[in-house]
């Protein structure tokens, strides 16, 4: 038996993880009805930004969900916006449904709201979409879509039930995070008024804290000066807190001043268009000039304000569930679509150097220095398949169905596990076909067994691929490569989740075995993604190759 095969979980765990859950098992404990489901997704939020994952940002509402539920420490997204959303909503790797690179899903690649709606659920969406096709065609009954990602204080494009809305007027004092929450609250009120007898699925997809860094001045003021000590000190503080919380017990990854997204503006252009305080690489804080330190501190204050405001809006939604008596019977999942971003580009209306940082006329990005801190303790950033790009917090809160409070789960999981979990609790079997076309088996596993104890979730491997980056995790072993043609690196994540010591040269046979698994999965997933008729043409505004959302 090879070393890689010895890492496979036992058959009993595999069977437990894949057993269907009936309505009774997934019921709210009183009515025999499957739970309501609220999926909350942050955009470009770092692994350690929330207080309950080691951060200093005030996130009392997210922290309360963790205290009343469970936290996963080894959960994964895909490292980028649109493939993560494809995996989260379809239950498949993005490559299996032709969404990375972004294209039209096959007809069989139905999304989870469509499966739930046909069993009695009402389905609602508010916020970012970034999936091919109109929102309502994805199985939602109601939708508010914020299409414009670059103008938090006044989008040029947003839609209600797929129909264009006029741009907000200045007197409306529009702010994207608040508007997304307001529409979610509206859907909950509508549900209570007209469909209270039915369970609901609400997908609350914030754009915060994705660039541009924009936040209300009063929110920014709460953090002004807080980050004067710099990203190296903040990383150390977050690591210490993570160890105290039991989130992570390993070492801190090395800050990498070389690695930035290939589409970033060059440093001289950044200085010319943003100003002399901008920094293009994750240098040591002590290497920065006083002007750079002041400017970088101000940027992180805006990022923190965006996370803070998102937390407050989450609190309003949770409070509405509490007042309606639905909080205990609602399964709440909170995660981020990828790690914090090292991107530094300028879009939208450009950047006005005379504007106050964080205001509507500014366009700033977090950048690699603070992204490294936000992703503490891990290595690299959004779009990479190293841990800093693909690790996400996952909080699961469901008082009627989870007895444990404030506990931690170290079992690895992935966005592909969300759909099997929801279907299991709803008592719904994943269909073998859709639209007259056969569907591949779902690659994910239900997380329901982990609701009661921290046990392995049986699976063969976890697969990653994006923009030339690639990785595979099997048990505690991970191979990963940064960029097309780059050699495989090998890490033992049980000892080195910070990916500091590459073992590839010491264990070439293990690298060869894991890379063979990755290659077979890659070929099969690409084949599946082009099997069957396209569902529809890709949505307008799909990102061009190398672009970002």
Identify the CA nearest to 253 among candidates 66, 343, 384: 384
Q: Which has the closest alpha carbon to 319: 41, 127, 142, 65? A: 65
Token pair of 370 as six digits: 């603070």
Task: Quickly tell me which residue has 């994910």 as its tokens.
Answer: 444
Strand ranges for 255-356 from DSSP E: 330-336
- 23, 32 in Cβ contact below 8 A? yes
3-state secondary structure at position 486: coil
* CA-based torsion, 173, 178, 183, 188: positive or negative: negative
Joined together, the tokens standing for residue 214 give: 């924009």
Cβ atoms of 479 and 486 closer than 8 Å: no
Specify whether 81 is catalytic.
Answer: yes
Structure token digits, residue 23: 């309505």
* Cα–Cα distance for residue pair 211/137, rounded to 1 Å: 28
Q: C-alpha 98: how far from its chain's center?
A: 19
Is 130 catalytic? The answer is: yes
CB neighbours (10 Å) of residue 202? Answer: 25
The closest alpha carbon to 220, from 297, 304, 291, belongs to: 304
Angle CA 289–291–292, to nearest 5: 65
As given in the structure block, the two tokens for residue 89 are 């909503």
Q: Which residues face 394 on adjacent strands?
A: 72, 335
* Residue 131 to residue 510: CA distance in whole angstroms: 36
> What 3-state DSSP class applies to 102?
strand
Buried b (16+ CB within 10 A) or exposed e, 345-381: bbebeebeeeeebbbbebbbbbbbbbbbbbbbbbbbb
CA atoms within 13 A on the CB side of 28: 18
Q: How many CB atoms lie within 10 A of CB 454?
A: 15
Question: Exposed, middle or buried: residue 163 (CB in 10 Å: 0-12, 13-18, 19+)?
Answer: exposed
The SS3 call for residue 122 is strand
User: What's the full length of the chain, in residues?
Assistant: 549
- Which entry of 52, 125, 130, 183 is annotated as an active-site residue? 130
Q: Which of 52, 81, 183, 365 is catalytic?
A: 81
Q: What are the structure tokens assigned to 521, written together?
A: 């999965």
CA nearest 257: which of 348, 381, 116?
381
Residue 171 per-residue DSSP state: G
Sign of the CA dihedral 431, 199, 67, 318? positive
Give the distance between the most distant pair of CA atoms in the chain. 69
Query: Which residues are the active-site residues?
Result: 81, 130
């Amino acid at each position: 038996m090879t070393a890689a095969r010895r890492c496979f979980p036992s058959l009993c765990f595999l069977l437990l993880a894949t057993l269907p859950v009936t309505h009774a098992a997934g019921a709210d404990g009183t009515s025999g009805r499957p739970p309501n489901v609220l999926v909350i997704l942050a955009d470009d939020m770092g692994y350690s930004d929330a207080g309950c994952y080691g951060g200093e940002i005030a996130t009392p509402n997210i922290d309360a969900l963790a205290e009343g539920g469970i936290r996963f420490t080894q959960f994964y997204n895909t490292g980028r916006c649109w493939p993560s959303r494809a995996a989260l909503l379809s239950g498949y790797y993005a490559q299996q449904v032709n969404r990375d690179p972004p294209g039209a899903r096959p007809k069989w690649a139905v999304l989870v709201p469509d499966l739930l709606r046909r069993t009695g659920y009402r389905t609602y969406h508010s916020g970012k979409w970034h999936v091919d096709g109109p929102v309502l065609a994805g199985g939602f009954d109601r939708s508010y879509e914020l299409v414009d990602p670059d103008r938090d204080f006044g989008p040029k494009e947003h839609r209600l039930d797929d129909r264009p809305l006029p741009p907000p007027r200045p007197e409306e004092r529009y702010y994207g995070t608040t508007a997304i929450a307001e529409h979610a609250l509206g859907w909950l009120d509508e549900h209570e008024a007209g469909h209270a007898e039915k369970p609901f699925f609400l997908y609350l997809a914030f754009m915060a804290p994705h660039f541009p860094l924009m936040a209300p001045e009063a929110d920014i003021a709460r953090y002004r000066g807080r980050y004067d000590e710099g990203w190296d000190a903040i990383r150390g503080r977050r690591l210490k807190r993570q160890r105290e919380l039991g989130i992570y017990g390993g070492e801190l990854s090395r800050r990498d001043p070389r690695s930035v997204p290939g589409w970033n503006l060059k440093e001289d252009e950044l200085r010319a268009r943003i100003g002399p305080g901008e920094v293009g690489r994750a240098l040591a804080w002590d290497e920065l000039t006083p002007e750079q330190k002041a400017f970088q501190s101000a940027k992180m204050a805006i990022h923190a304000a965006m996370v803070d405001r998102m937390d407050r809006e989450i609190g309003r939604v949770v409070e509405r569930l509490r007042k309606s008596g639905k909080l205990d019977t609602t399964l709440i999942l909170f995660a981020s679509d990828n790690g914090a971003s090292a991107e530094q580009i300028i879009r939208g209306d450009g950047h006005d150097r005379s504007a106050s940082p964080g205001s509507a006329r500014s366009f700033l990005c977090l950048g690699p220095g603070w992204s490294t801190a936000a992703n503490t303790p891990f290595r690299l950033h959004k779009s990479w398949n190293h841990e800093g790009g693909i690790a996400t917090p996952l909080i699961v809160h469901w008082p009627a169905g989870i007895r444990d409070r404030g506990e931690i789960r170290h079992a690895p999981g992935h966005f592909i596990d969300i759909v099997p979990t929801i279907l299991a609790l709803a008592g719904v079997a994943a269909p073998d076909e859709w639209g007259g076309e056969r569907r591949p088996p779902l690659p994910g596993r239900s997380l329901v067994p982990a609701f009661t104890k921290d046990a392995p979730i049986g699976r063969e491997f976890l697969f990653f691929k994006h923009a030339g980056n690639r990785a595979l995790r099997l048990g505690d072993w991970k191979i990963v490569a940064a960029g097309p043609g780059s050699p495989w690196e090998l890490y033992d994540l049980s000892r080195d989740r910070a990916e500091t010591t590459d073992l590839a040269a010491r264990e070439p046979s293990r690298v060869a075995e894991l890379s063979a698994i990755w290659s077979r999965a890659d070929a099969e997933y690409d084949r599946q993604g082009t099997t069957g008729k396209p569902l529809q043409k890709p949505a307008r505004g799909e990102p061009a190759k190398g672009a970002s959302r």
